[in-house]
Amino acid sequence: MQGGRGARLVLGCAGLALLSACAGGNQVAQNGYSLAYYRAHAAGNYAPPGPPSDPWGPYINIAANRFDVPPTWIRQVMRVESGGHEYLDGQLIVSAAGAMGLMQLEPATYQEMASRYGLGQDPFNPYDNIMAGTAYIHEMYQIYGSPGFLAAYNAGPGRLDSYMNYHTPLPGETINYVAMIAPNIQGYYPVHRSEADQLALNTQPMSEAPGLLPPGFIPDAPARQMQQNPLAPVQVASIAPPATPMS
């Protein structure tokens, strides 16, 4: 499986047309416009469907069943993305890059998922946000396996393709993102496994790499400050860039 990874990776951007990862400079302007629109039209009165101890559990279970994604994957991604919170300082949670809601989806990514899976027009709506985020996890898992899908979720499939095909270093944020989540989803898989689980980036020992690279490198730029559940264990690894391929 490792020898054919280059041919498979052409699916990364072109095959799925994932706008959030494959667009160019105009994407920033589009995200800004869409974010302003979504903020202005957000309902803002979202009642959690579950008890205080597990407010989003019912939606997570629905999404897990619909998209064949382990609930643990959804919970761990949400933990790092938003801490399970809709609001921060009284405002709907939005990242500096314009990612929105519990699963922190950029506008173009949400639009793509909403169109494909018949979701609503409010990305801040917890139900639709969880559905869209889980759908995106499912699509990235089908291409990159586990835990490789985490890098694609954070950096976009285009960046992961570039790393795998051309050894372009991944952002430090992405390396730390995978390190924080991968140990907590180890051993959990969908009912229908992806062949991409056999890719090299998914078969290295977890002690050596949280799904991506061998140890030894401290990223130049620190990862962004991420919302996290203080009760959940977090592991941050030091990771090295890939070796230069031999000719």
Q: In this predicted model, what pLDDT tens digit does every residue of 51-89 receive, in sequence order?
A: 999 999 999 999 999 999 999 999 999 999 999 999 999
pLDDT in the model for residue 205: 58
Grade residue 34 by pLDDT with cuts at 50, 70 and 90.
Answer: confident
Q: Which of 237, 131, 111, 123 is nearest to 176 (CA)?
A: 237
Average pLDDT of the residues in 138-158: 96
Q: Contact 102/78 with Cβ under 8 angstroms?
A: yes
95 backbone dihedrals φ, ψ, rounded to 5°: -80, 170
36 C-beta neighbours (distance < 10 Å), count: 12
Write down the CATH number for the domain with range 50-194: 1.10.530.10
> Residue 208's pLDDT band (boundaries 50, 70, 90)?
very low
**119: alpha, beta or left? (left if phi > 0; alpha if psi -120 to 50):** beta
Res. 200 pLDDT band, cuts 50 70 90: confident
Cα four-point dihedral sign 243, 179, 192, 117: negative
Distances (CA, A) of 103 to 26, 84, 202: 23, 8, 23
Catalytic pick among 81, 86, 106, 139: 81
Q: Residue 1's pLDDT is what? A: 29
pLDDT at residue 33, as a whole number? 54
Q: In terms of pLDDT, which residue wins out, 96 or 32?
A: 96
CA triple 195-76-151, angle to 5 deg: 50
CA pair distance 120, 6, nearest whole angstrom: 36
pLDDT of residue 218: 35
Q: What is the mean pLDDT of the chain?
A: 77
**Distance between CA 132 and CA 45 in Å, rounded?**
19
Query: Any catalytic annotation for residue 112?
Result: no
Of the listed ranges 137-141, 216-220, 234-238, the one predicted with least confidence: 234-238
